[in-house]
């Protein structure tokens, strides 16, 4: 860590020497959110994004923000409400391993008419059906 900014509600920890003014303002805004937890981390490759700096990390308390840096073209993140209230580590590792095998990356994976997209959707449905109920 190169520097800590302590002027906001929670600290901002920087792992870089120079930060774009826009990215710093975004980090300060994050550090003042009521659900931001412990500190905001700014990695060496950070630059201004849309709302949150790209290369920034924000832990949250009692809140999930799936689109903090989610305006990235091709982002594969999705929030799904499930009936899960608890899950053991081994089961979670199996689920995550399966997801990592099939989560598409790149632009071609988003064409809903492509056979690749349909196959990935089928695999994702099988994983969800196998491991837990979705309400």
Of the candidates 55, 48, 49, 51, the one whose C-alpha atom is nearest the C-alpha of residue 13 is 55
pLDDT of the residue at 134 = 45
Of the candidates 100, 93, 95, the one whose C-alpha atom is nearest the C-alpha of residue 120 is 100
Considering the chain, what percentage of its residues have pLDDT values greater than 70?
75
Cα-only R_g, the chain: 18
Question: At 83, is the secondary structure helix, strand, or coil?
Answer: coil
Q: Please, which residues have CB within 8 angstroms of residue 48's CB and are 6 or more apart in sequence?
A: 20, 22, 23, 26, 54
Angstrom CA distances, 103 to 4, 30, 108, 128, stand at 36, 29, 12, 13
pLDDT of the residue at 110 = 58
pLDDT of the residue at 72 = 53
Q: Alpha helix (H) ranges present in 2-109? A: 21-31, 89-102
Whether 16 shows a pLDDT value over 90: the answer reads: yes
Whether 105 shows a pLDDT value over 70: the answer reads: no
Range of 2-11, 45-54, 80-89 with top mean pLDDT: 2-11
Average pLDDT, the chain: 80
């Amino acid at each position: 860590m190169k520097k800590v900014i302590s002027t906001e509600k929670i600290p901002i920890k920087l792992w870089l020497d120079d930060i774009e003014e826009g990215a710093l303002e975004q980090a300060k805004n994050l550090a003042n959110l009521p659900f931001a937890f412990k500190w905001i981390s700014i990695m060496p490759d950070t630059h201004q994004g849309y709302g949150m700096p790209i290369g920034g990390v924000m832990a949250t308390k009692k809140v999930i923000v799936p689109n903090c840096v989610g305006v990235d073209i091709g982002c594969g993140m999705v929030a799904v409400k499930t009936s899960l209230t608890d899950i053991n580590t081994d089961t979670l590792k199996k689920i995550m391993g399966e997801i990592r095998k099939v989560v598409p990356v790149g632009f071609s994976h988003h064409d809903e008419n492509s056979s690749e997209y349909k196959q990935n959707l089928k695999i994702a449905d099988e994983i969800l059906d196998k491991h837990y109920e979705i309400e």
